[in-house]
Amino acid sequence: MTQPFLSIRNLRKAFGAITAVHDVTLDIPKGEFLTFLGPSGSGKSTTLYAIAGFQDPSSGDVELEGRSLLAVPSHRRNIGMVFQRYTLFPHLTVAENVAFPLRVRRRPEAEVKKKVADMLALVRLESFAQRLPGALSGGQQQRVALARALAYDPPILLMDEPLSALDKKLREEIQGEIRRIHRETGVTILYVTHDQEEALHLSDRIALFRDGRIEQTGSGEDLYLRPATDFVAGFIGNSNFLAAEHLDTKDGTATIRLADGSVVSGVRANGTFGKGQKTRLMIRPEAFGMVRRPASAELNVEIVDVAFYGERRRIVARTAGGEGVDIRPTSAAMQLQDLTPCSRQVFFDPTAAFLFPA
Ligand SMILES: Nc1ncnc2c1ncn2[C@@H]1O[C@H](COP(=O)(O)OP(=O)(O)OP(=O)(O)O)[C@@H](O)[C@H]1O
Ligand SMILES: [Mg+2]
């Protein structure tokens, strides 16, 4: 196997009695855009700070191209950082903010000038060079912070919720810029967010954190379509969980009995289950359809409400046992008058349904 670029090995970080990171191991290839996603307090920032060298781990190691970084002080690690709140120097112009890391490194004036111009072009702020940060919008300030972090060509860029203070439109715009800059520079990016849409939009891979551990690492598609645990299924995208009794599993596909007694075959088993074991069946809202197909499984529901959301409809339904079901079929698939509150069957592809332990 080729040596990974950046390696996090059994990282653990405790603050007194609180263990923020229990055991994180991760290999990151050069040029990857990897996102730490997870709920508040799950250890994302703590892991990032250990890589940056702002905090020493309690145990474990961080290696760059096979060499431990632990003995290297933070300012010598050559890692760029962008944080949630723009941390520009308020009394320096945009150009001088971007020049700052180069001046610290005592680069020649001609190089500083050229680099500042290149970086401002990269973030499309050429005409703002002489302004002070206070005269910029939040999004512009965040782009200056990005230009400053990239000015000395760090091989790794760490970003901790850099867009969370911005409104949705600006956030999406800068997400596009960050993707472009990643493509154009090839810099390895470790990005922290608790916004799953942002993670899906930006990343090559996502590491999903839970309670100081990584629950699953994979592409957005892996996590969405092949969640390893019910936590992943519940955190990424929308999901329905129905109580089910496990009857039998063969070759990874299970037969289960739902609360209303109906039997469904061919669902994907995540784990091994005993006969009669209580389980939960996860079905994505968009995996439901209103018409029966050859391999469909069926579910009896009471339709409570129907709303139109453009390309999809959103149906609020309930099973006889009172479990809520969120159904989002494409609008084209049916007529609205077929969906007035009533009892009816809806259909799903069992291979798009996942069985987890209860
Ligand atoms: N300096 C500290 N002293 C004590 N506890 C800390 C310290 N820093 C972090 N923690 C605790 O460690 C846990 C993980 O914190 P961390 O900041 O890594 O979470 P996070 O995943 O980045 O969360 P958020 O999405 O809210 O930023 C939390 O329970 C937090 O309270
Ligand atoms: Mg954090």
Instruction: Give per-residue pLDDT as tens, 209-252.
Output: 999 999 999 999 999 988 999 999 999 989 999 999 999 999 98
Instruction: State if residue 193 touches ligand 1 by the CB under 6 angstroms criterion.
Output: no
Alpha carbon of 46 to ligand 1 centroid (Å): 6
Instruction: State if residue 46 touches ligand 1 by the CB under 6 angstroms criterion.
Output: yes
Fill in the amino acid letter for 194: H
Q: Which atom of ligand 1 is nearest to the CA of 212?
A: 14
Q: Note the pLDDT of residue 191.
A: 97
d(CA 29, CA 38): 21
pLDDT in tens, 299-338: 999 998 888 888 888 899 999 889 999 999 887 766 655 6
Q: Note the pLDDT of residue 33.
A: 98
Instruction: State if residue 15 touches ligand 1 by the CB under 6 angstroms criterion.
Output: yes
Domains and CATH numbers, the chain: 6-234 (3.40.50.300), 238-357 (2.40.50.140)
- Structural contact between residues 243 and 324, judged by C-beta atoms closer than 8 angstroms: no
Tell me how many degrees the CA angle 248-254-260 measures, rounded to the nearest 5.
Answer: 85
Instruction: State if residue 182 touches ligand 1 by the CB under 6 angstroms criterion.
Output: no
- Structural contact between residues 170 and 178, judged by C-beta atoms closer than 8 angstroms: no
Instruction: State if residue 350 touches ligand 1 by the CB under 6 angstroms criterion.
Output: no
Confidence of residue 269 (pLDDT cuts 50, 70, 90): very high
Instruction: State if residue 54 touches ligand 1 by the CB under 6 angstroms criterion.
Output: no
Nearest Cα residue to atom 29 of ligand 1: 41
Confidence of residue 165 (pLDDT cuts 50, 70, 90): confident
pTM score, whole prediction: 0.88
Q: Which atom of ligand 1 is nearest to the CA of 19?
A: 12
